[in-house]
A and B are shown apart, each in its own frame.
Chain A
Amino acid sequence: AQTVTQSQPEMSVQEAETVTLSCTYDTSESDYYLFWYKQPPSRQMILVIRQEAYKQQNATENRFSVNFQKAAKSFSLKISDSQLGDAAMYFCAYRSALRAGNMLTFGGGTRLMVKP
Chain B
Amino acid sequence: EPEVTQTPSHQVTQMGQEVILRCVPISNHLYFYWYRQILGQKVEFLVSFYNNEISEKSEIFDDQFSVERPDGSNFTLKIRSTKLEDSAMYFCASSEATGTNYEQYFGPGTRLTVT
Contact = CB atoms under 8 A, between A and B. Distances in A.
Interface string A94-116: 00000111111111110000000
A62 interface: no
A102 B100 contact: no
B108 to A, nearest CB: 5
A44 interface: yes
Interface residues of B, number: 24
Nearest to B3: A44
A97 to B, nearest CB: 8
A47 interface: yes
A101 B86 CA distance: 23
A53 B13 CA distance: 43
A101 B95 CA distance: 11
A102 B41 CA distance: 21
B42 A107 contact: yes
B52 to A, nearest CB: 15
Contacts of A103: 33, 45, 48, 56, 58
A104 B104 contact: yes
Nearest to A93: B43
Interface centre among A45, A47, A100, A108 (most CB of B within 10 A): A45
A102 B106 contact: no
A100 B42 contact: no
A28 interface: no
Interface centre among A46, A101, A108 (most CB of B within 10 A): A101
Given A45-B106, A102-B98, A109 B45 contact: no
Interface string B53-87: 00111100000000000000000000000000000
Nearest to B41: A108
A66 B44 CA distance: 23
A116 B91 CA distance: 32
B100 A105 contact: no
Interface of A: 33, 35, 37, 42-47, 50, 52, 91, 99-109
Interface of B: 31, 33, 35, 41-45, 48, 55-58, 89, 91, 95, 98, 100, 103-104, 106-109
